[in-house]
Structure 1
Amino acid sequence: MEFRGEEVPLGPPQTRVVLAMLAAHANDVVTIDGIAEELWGSSPPASAKTQVHGIISALRRLLGRDRITTTRPRGYRLLARPDELESHLFRNDVECAREMLAEGAVAAGAARLRRALARWRGPVLAELRGHLGRGLDETHVLALEERIAADLQLGRGADLVGELVELVAEHPLRERFRAQLMTALAHTGRLAEASRAYSVYRTTMVRELGVEPSAGLRALHTRILRGNS
């Protein structure tokens, strides 16, 4: 983690999880019970509170005692300005990009989304059990989908195929990535590959979920078969 422009080693995974929770709820109270549930689920050890106190003490030594305050109800609060939080800066860039795209400034919106995504440092702590990490990661994936959509609109399909192949492999059931891959392939004249990407997705959906692809994706496939993508 960077703090005041310097890399700060955070130590064991539990310390990273607690800091992630505090940072995601910066300037708000995070209860000891909430931290314990995130660390150990529904069966925390008898020493849970003592261990949480120890983790907070370690973080205070790293960040400064005034950074993390003790609160009532019993918990902790990380004091931070918005411009110190990557999650805040990321969301701000995404919102600005969406406004640009809504106004028709596609190139500027795509560039702002790339700036937002450059702030991202991988999936939010794999150790996180709860909705916190999933929520932030979903925000990231949505921003990635929007950036790719903007790049497709700008005619950059040929440059996107490799990236989309990787994203489809990572998110095999995510329809928008599949549609974007099909579109990018079709725009570069690779119609057979685009059709095969649909067929693979349909087979996966039927096998894994027992449902057909959406009407929108089926319509896209039909347009590709007719050469009207």
Structure 2
Amino acid sequence: MEFRILGPVRIRTAEQEDALSGSKQRTMLAALLLSDGRALSDERLGRMLWDSRPPSTAPAQIHTYASRIRRRLGPDVPLIRIRTGYQLMAQHVPYDYREFTRLSDEGHRALHAQDFAPAAALLGEALALWRGEALADATDHLVLAERPRLEEYRLEALESRIEAELILGRHRQLVSELTGLVAHHPMRERFRALLMTALYRSDRQAEALTAYIDGRRMLAEELGVEPGLLLARTYQAVLTGEVRTRMPQQLAS
């Protein structure tokens, strides 16, 4: 058995992939998985299922969802009633978010230790576990509460994987990916600094400078601020050529 939340919420077995029957069951399972073995109260589960206005029948409905989930999990994965809540005992079951966290943490440590090839491989393996937007078919209430945190971890892993690959000399292959990432995350300065680095190292200095100018204009127009230290120092490094040998994070430290 395997649990998946990095995309649609699923229980995967050797025989099939179970989507559960309805967003409420998927939400309850995902919330219990994200609690990492801690008990969740009926009140907390109710907020994830119905936001601030649970129906009068909420305790009975939660009990029904728990019973249905318990039947799907079987006796080897206990879902226990704890006073006024539930606890999922599933630390022994493979779970994509737990595996993502393990691999990305190892990748970040390898990058910090300047083991760039293992860092790129570990972070790439971690990112490959994502099958779309996390919690894709859970309730909006759980998505609003949890997806921003999960997405931030994904973006940090993506930035670090790209940095490792840039150090390994893969700048030309990364320009297209970084161009798309900057378009989708225009306020994220590390992506823009990495794009400037990749462009400069691909002998596209003018485009690297344009990327900075576009970012500075957007920050001024939308937020009324100047670029942060990372982007400003990357810009100076492009002008002096220092960005050919040093990465944005090194320039800003």
Fold in common (TM above 0.5): yes
TM-score (norm 2): 0.82
- Deviation sequence 1:12-59 (CA, Å, 0-9, x none): 222222111111124220111111112222222222223322322232
Give distance in 2, aligned partners of 1:36 and 1:66. 26
Structure-2 separation of matches of 1:131 and 1:179? 30
> 1:151 aligned to 2:165?
yes
Distance 1:130 1:32 in 2: 19
Give 2:12's aligned residue: 3
User: How far apart are residue 219 of structure 1 and its match?
Assistant: 2.1
Alpha-carbon contact 2:196-2:211 (below 8 Å) kept: yes
Deviation at 1:202, TM superposition (A): 1.4
Equivalent residues in 2 for 1:205-220 (5 A)? 205-220=219-234
The residue aligned with 1:106 is 116
Structure 1 gaps of 5+ residues are: none
**Structure 1 143/9 Cα, relative in aligned 2: closer, same or farther at 3 Å?**
same
Deviation per residue, 1:157-210 (Å, 9 max, x gap):
111111111211221111111111111111111122212211221122122222
Relative to structure 1, the CA distance from residue 101 to residue 60 in structure 2 (aligned partners, 3 Å threshold; closer, same or farther) is same
Per the alignment, residue 88 of structure 2 pairs with 78
Matched with 2:200 is: 186
Quick check: 1:117 aligned with 2:127?
A: yes
What secondary structure sits across from 1:67 in the alignment? coil
Aligned to 1:202: 216
User: Is residue 161 of structure 1 aligned with residue 175 of structure 2?
Assistant: yes
**Gaps in structure 2 of 5+ consecutive residues:** 1-9, 244-253
2:43 pairs, out of 33, 36, 43, with 33
Q: Pick the aligned partner of 1:50 from 54, 60, 83.
A: 60
- The alpha-carbon deviation at position 137 of structure 1 amounts to 1.8
Give distance in 2, aligned partners of 1:109 and 1:3: 28
RMSD: 2.0
Between the aligned partners of 2:82 and 2:179, the Cα distance in structure 1 is: 49
Q: 2:98 aligns with which of 83, 88, 96?
A: 88
Taking the aligned partners of 1:45 and 1:2, their CA distance within structure 2 comes to 27
How far apart, in 2, do the equivalents of 1:92 and 1:156 lie? 25
Tell me: higher relative CO, structure 1 or 2? Use CA pairs within 8 A at least 6 residues apart.
2
**Where in structure 1 do 4 or more consecutive aligned residues deviate above 4 Å?**
none
One-letter amino acid matched to 2:206: A
In structure 2, C-alpha distance between the alignment counterparts of 1:157 and 1:83, rounded to whole Å: 38
